[in-house]
A and B are shown apart, each in its own frame.
Chain A
Amino acid sequence: MLKTVQGKAWSKYLLSLPPMAYLLIFFAAPTLIMLFSSFRYPGEYGGLAPWLVQDGGQWTFDLTLESWQRLFGTDIYLRLFVKSIGYAICTTLFCMVMAYPLALMIARSGRKSRDLLLLLVILPFWSNFLVRIYAWMIIFSPVGALTRILNGVLDLFGVGPVTLMYSPTAMIVCLVYVHLPFMVLPLYANLEKHDPYLLDAAQDLGAGKWRRFWLITWPLSLPGITAGSILVFIPVLGMFAIPDLLGGTDGIMIGNVIKQQFMESRDWPFGSVLSMVLTVAAVAVVLLGSRLSRQRAGMSGS
Chain B
Amino acid sequence: MMAKKNLLLTVSAGLVYLFLYLPLVIVVVFSFNDSKLNAEWVGFTWKWYGKLLYNQEMLTAAMNSLIIASVSAGIATILGTLAGIAMHQYRLRLLQMLVLAPIAMPEILMGVSLLVLFIMVNMTLGLISIMLAHITFCIGFVALAVQARISSLDPALIEAARDLGATPWQCFREVTLPLLMPGILAGALMAFTLSIDDFVITFFTAGVGSSTLPLQIYSMVKIAVTPEVNAVSTLLMLVTLVVITVASRLSPAIFRGE
- The interface of chain A, by Cβ under 8 A from chain B, is 1-8, 11-12, 15-16, 18-20, 22-24, 26-31, 33-34, 37, 47-48, 98-99, 101-102, 104-106, 108, 115, 118-124, 126-139, 141, 143-145, 177, 180, 184-186, 188-189, 196, 199-200, 209, 230, 234-235, 237-241, 245, 255, 258-259, 262-263, 268, 271-272, 275, 278-279, 282, 286
Contacts and interface: CB of A to CB of B under 8 A. Distances in A.
Interface in B174-225: 176, 180, 193, 197, 199-200, 204, 213-214, 217-218, 221-222, 225
B113 A275 contact: yes
Nearest to B233: A131
Interface string B31-59: 00000011110000000000000000000
Nearest to A135: B23
A4 B107 contact: no
Contacts of A23: 98-99, 102, 136, 139
A124 B20 contact: yes
A144 B85 CA distance: 51
A22 B99 CA distance: 10
B214 A235 contact: no
A138 B30 CA distance: 10
Contacts of A137: 221, 225
Contact of A196 (B2, B10, B78): B2
B109 A5 contact: no
Given A4-B158, A196-B2, A275 B172 contact: no
B40 to A, nearest CB: 8
Given A12-B90, A33-B117, A139-B23, 19 more contacts: A4-B180, A15-B83, A18-B78, A22-B139, A27-B101, A30-B113, A48-B116, A106-B13, A121-B17, A124-B21, A127-B233, A131-B233, A144-B38, A180-B20, A234-B105, A238-B105, A241-B199, A272-B112, A275-B113
Given A137-B221, A238-B106, A26 B135 contact: yes
B240 A128 contact: yes
20 contacts: A1-B88, A2-B153, A4-B88, A6-B168, A19-B98, A20-B83, A22-B139, A26-B114, A102-B13, A105-B10, A108-B2, A115-B252, A120-B20, A127-B233, A137-B225, A144-B39, A209-B6, A235-B107, A259-B112, A275-B113
A114 to B, nearest CB: 9
Interface of B: 1-3, 6, 9-10, 12-13, 16-17, 19-21, 23-24, 26-27, 30, 37-40, 78-80, 82-83, 85-86, 88-90, 92, 94-95, 98-99, 101-102, 104-110, 112-117, 119-120, 132-133, 135-136, 139, 143, 150-151, 153-155, 158, 162, 168, 171-172, 176, 180, 193, 197, 199-200, 204, 213-214, 217-218, 221-222, 225, 229, 233, 236-237, 240-241, 244, 248, 252, 255-258
